Structure 1
């Protein structure tokens, strides 16, 4: 058996020089840093003025939906409040002994001997419109809160990492032993 040993020396002039600049690979993306206060700021803006948080998130198409929803709730509240006050005023007039409320007159303005709506009918109408008024107020407050929640959640989702290297996919596999189907969910990370 023989053994060879070879020793080589390099000249300093032949050594490779390091490049002066480093080239960044095109695969690496530099992202803007996440501002953790963005969702709170969007919610605050929506609380101050409905739709302002959606504008802050640059979701301008949601602003008409916000104003339409809240405006509809306000419209029904005002309408029910107007009808409630109408029947309440007639009821108070009847209790005071007057026969000159609007339900004692026909369409031409002639006074009737019997009212179109009885006193019990006025009581039922008051209860009906008061309940509808309260429901309209609760719905409007709920839509206002939903506007704030939407702005907050949307600001959170803008910071969500939607990268091609992350994937969540459903899969279906047939079990070879008992020929039953298995359903699952696969989470893949690619580095």
Structure 2
């Protein structure tokens, strides 16, 4: 008899606790989430757009485009601020090329005119540039060789600058796919090497998993 009373008490207690918990859940009011602001909506759209862009981004395209047109690869990588730098670097050897080519032609013509003058033909002397009229034939020859050398160097530097911007577009195109988010962590731990019995440092990289928050379901 006593056992039956105890069992009955336990059953009644469990039913009462279950009913109380159910009533508590039913009576709980789920507060609706506040509407998103325009700034938050813009951030969400930007993240969606960036994720779509990352899925279609191919580093090889950045290489080919920058090889065809300077700055096109940087624009493909969305590094628009580099485009003025690319054209600024390319403009320096381009300007020096035209400058040296112009004076190379002038000094070349003046040298040939003075050389003809020594052989009795002074028909081209009057056409010498006024800046070069007071120079001797030896000085004209030296200036001609110097401007020709600097012109060739300008071509070389232009090619190197073009190749540099191709390398830049290629490297940063690949770096776009590297994970540099806050989910990466680095830890350094001291450790004793059991074989050599000498102290050492251990470097470990960990990827943090995003915490899964329970969803509040309204009934």
Normalising by structure 2, report the TM-score: 0.57
The residue that corresponds to 2:128 in the other structure is 102
CA gap of 1:75–1:106, structure 2 versus 1, over 3 A, is closer
Q: Which runs of 5+ in 1 are unaligned?
A: 1-30, 108-114, 174-181
1:91 correspondence with 2:111 = yes
Q: CA offset at residue 187 of structure 1?
A: 3.2
1:44-85 deviation line (CA, Å, top 9, x unaligned): 111111111111111110001111111121111110110111
**1:167 Cα shift?**
3.3
Q: Number of residue pairs matched?
A: 146
For structure 2, list consecutive stretches of 5 or more residues without a partner in the other structure: 1-50, 191-198, 210-219
Verify: 1:57 aligned to 2:77, yes or no: yes
Pairs within 5 Å for 1:58-137: 58-97=78-117, 98=122, 99-102=125-128, 115-137=133-155
- State the Cα distance separating 1:162 from its structure 2 match: 1.3
Please give the TM-score of this superposition, normalised by the length of structure 1.
Answer: 0.65
Q: How does 1:1-191 map to 2 (within 5 A)?
A: 38-97=58-117, 98=122, 99-102=125-128, 115-168=133-186, 186-190=203-207
The whole-number CA distance in structure 2 between the counterparts of 1:56 and 1:33 is 10
In structure 1, what is the Cα distance between the partners aligned to 2:53 and 2:154? Answer: 43
More helix by share: 2
How large is the RMSD of aligned CA atoms in angstroms? 3.1
Q: Hey, what does 1:23 align to over in structure 2? A: none
Contact 2:62 2:170 in 1 (8 A): yes
CA distance in structure 1 between the partners assigned to 2:164 and 2:174 by the alignment: 15
2:66–2:74 Cα contact (<8 Å) kept: yes
